[in-house]
Amino acid sequence: MIRRRAFITLLGGAAAWPLTARAQQAGKLPTIGYLSGTTPSLTASWAAAFVQRLRELGWTDGRNVAIEYRWGEGRNELYAQIAAEFVRLKVDVIVTSGGAALTLKQATSAIPIVFAGSQDPLGSGLVASLARPGGNLTGLSTQLADIAGKRAELLREVVPGLRRLAIMANVGNSLAVLEMGEAQAAARKLGLEAIMSGIRRDEDVVPAFDVFKGQAQALYLCGDPLVTTNVNRINTLALGARLPTMQGSREFVQAGGLMSYAPNFPDLYRRAAEFVDKILRGAKPSDIPVEQPTKFELVVNLIAAKAIGLTIPPGVLAIADEVIE
């Protein structure tokens, strides 16, 4: 678990987050607990977007608010430990995403929790309704499971004669399993054979590729911190197997994947900062409606396409929001 000071050091001060008088003021400042399921290097742009928007709203770390960063490093078992720590610290609000929100909900019913992205906040039980969440959680839905069909369609457009689609997910994460099921259903609707491959820890990634090696013609990756922390390894293995990939965010395509169709996550974290601002100023999470992404972005990596000998159709490139060359 990487703590706050390590994160600031890692970024080398590039984000210029002030720490002046932090020690003296910590007891007096409202405190935000920030829990990311991954590592600082993989999602630094998301944290930076969150902090920048907080600044714009009048909150500066170390001056009139304190931010306690914790990083799950793709290990679900750390969430309960971090949640308990936030409760001991008596933070004023917690920001997180994905499956970590479920663990935090179990840990506290008193501390407001803002999820910057959840695949299915209603179906997973995070909130009672999107319009009136109830309880102590609110935030943004990523609708990742809902867009599984579009992702599968894009892979079919890009991969000539696609018949067999591998679907990889962390089967220890209920939300990832939900997306896995949606992806499987989408594949069936398109007449594709779905080859399921589950992982639970870092060591499972290489054997997971063995499951569909020589069979699958493309790989659909379900969004999850475990997948995120292993994205470089997954991209390398996919390249070696000449497998086109559908990723969970633009950052993972920038890391070498082929394509992503997803919300803009830095934008989601900017909007999460607006939720935090409202709560710090007295609003109750139970009264703040859950929001949904306003836009989904298609990102295509032509370098990755060339490396696996794939030609991206002009029609797909024409609708892409970003093309990496």
Q: Are residues 94 and 215 in the same domain?
A: no
> Does 289 lie in the same domain as 234?
no
For the chain, what is the domain count? 2
Q: Could you tell me which residues come within 8 angstroms of residue 200 by beta carbon, excluding any fewer than 6 positions away?
A: 170, 171, 172, 226
| Domain co-membership, 15 together with 78 | yes
Task: Give the model's pLDDT for residue 77.
Answer: 84
Q: Are residues 178 and 318 in the same domain?
A: yes
Residues 187 and 305 reside in one and the same domain: yes
52 and 73 in one domain? yes
Cβ-contact 18, 62 below 8 angstroms: yes
Please check whether residues 93 and 225 belong to one and the same domain. no
Q: Say which residues have a Cβ less than 8 Å from residue 186's Cβ, sequence separation at least 6.
A: 148, 149, 151, 152, 153
Please report, in tens digits, the pLDDT of each residue of the chain (325 residues total): 555 444 444 443 333 333 333 333 445 799 999 999 888 888 889 999 999 999 999 999 999 999 999 999 888 789 999 999 999 999 999 999 877 888 999 999 999 999 998 878 888 889 999 999 999 999 999 876 678 999 999 999 999 999 999 999 999 888 889 899 999 999 999 999 999 999 999 999 999 998 888 899 999 999 888 998 899 999 999 999 999 999 988 888 999 999 999 999 999 999 999 999 999 999 999 999 999 887 899 999 999 999 999 999 999 999 999 999 9
**CB contact at 8 A, 166 and 212:** yes
Domain CATH code at residue 256: 3.40.50.2300
Residue from 221, 213, 214 nearest 258 by CA: 221
User: Which pLDDT does position 173 carry in this prediction?
Assistant: 86
What strands, in cross-sheet order, belong to the sheet with 2-3?
2-3, 66-71, 31-36, 93-96, 113-118, 137-141
**Residue pair 229/173 in contact by the 8 Å Cβ criterion:** no
> In this predicted structure, what is the pLDDT of residue 175?
83
pLDDT attached to residue 13: 37
Q: Based on the fold, state whether residues 236 and 288 are members of the same structural domain.
A: no
User: What span, in angstroms and rounded, lies between the C-alpha atoms of 161 and 164?
Assistant: 9
Q: How many CB atoms lie within 10 A of CB 14?
A: 10
pLDDT at residue 6, as a whole number:
44
Same domain, 287 and 208: no
Residue 211 has a pLDDT of: 86
Transcribe 105-138 into DSSP letters. Answer: HHH-SSS-EEEEEES-TTTTTS-S-SSS--TTEE
Nearest to 1 by CA among 26, 43, 48, 38: 38
What's the pLDDT score for residue 122? 86
- Among the residues of 131-284, which ranges form H helices? 148-158, 174-189, 205-212, 225-229, 231-240, 250-254, 265-280
Q: Do 182 and 164 have their domain in common?
A: yes
- Which structural domain range is residue 185 located in? 148-263+297-324
Distance CA 139, CA 204 (A): 32
CB 201 within 8 A of CB 148: no
Same domain membership, residue 273 and residue 207: no
Report yes or no: 105 and 175 within 8 Å, Cβ to Cβ: no
Task: Note whether 164 and 64 are same-domain residues.
Answer: no
